[in-house]
Amino acid sequence: MTSGYKDLSITVEFRGGAELLFEKKKNELNLPGDEEWTLRRLLFWIRDNLLKDRPELFLLGDTVRPGILVLVNDEDWELLGQGEYKLKPRDTVLFISTLHGG
């Protein structure tokens, strides 16, 4: 709070096999509140801070790899403007892979 900004607290979860790319299935995050957080900015932050290896299995260009579903508070991100969506405090962002074994 020293800078006068409030951190943005959100939850990020990985499922359906997407968790295999990360250390933890569920992550409680405090993102620096210095500027606006869109989902797109979060994707890059996840790539740089949470992803273990093989970023191409998670990101392709500036969006998730086709076959990974994204839900914010259990709502499909396709109804929320995808990468443009502005994160709010206590949002839960869920990534579900459809690409793993059936």
Partner 1 sequence: MPVPCSAKCGKNATLKRPKTGDALCKECFFWAFEMEVHNTIVNAKLFQRGNKVAIAASGGKDSTVLAYVLKLLNERYDYGLDLFLLSVDEGITGYRDDSLQTVKQNKIDYEMPLKILSYEELYGWTMDAIVAQVGRKNNCTFCGVFRRQALDRGAALLGVDCVVTGHNADDIAETVLMNVLRGDIARLQRCTSIITAGADSIMRCKPLKYTYEKEIVMYAYFKRLVYFSTECIFAPNAYRGHARMFLKDLEKIRPSSIMDIIHSGERLSVRDGIKMPERRNCTRCGFVSSQEICKACVLLEGLNRGLPRLGIGKSNKAKLLLAATTEDRGKKKTVDF
Our finding on whether 20 is near partner 1 (CB under 8 A) is: yes
Our finding on whether 43 is near partner 1 (CB under 8 A) is: no
Our finding on whether 49 is near partner 1 (CB under 8 A) is: no
Q: Where are the alpha helices (DSSP H) in 14-101?
A: 39-49
Our finding on whether 5 is near partner 1 (CB under 8 A) is: no
Q: Give 42's contacts (C-beta < 8 A, 6+ positions apart).
A: 10, 12, 31, 87, 93
> In whole angstroms, how close is the CB of 30 to partner 1 at the nearest point?
26
Q: Give 19's contacts (C-beta < 8 A, 6+ positions apart).
A: 25
Our finding on whether 61 is near partner 1 (CB under 8 A) is: no
Strands 68-72 and 59-60: unpaired
Residue 14: name the closest of 68, 67, 63 by CA.
Answer: 68
Our finding on whether 78 is near partner 1 (CB under 8 A) is: yes
Residue type, 33: G
8/96 with CB nearer partner 1:
96
37/85 with CB nearer partner 1:
85
The residue ranges that bind partner 1 (CB under 8 A) are 15-17, 20, 65-67, 69, 71, 74-76, 78-79, 96-102
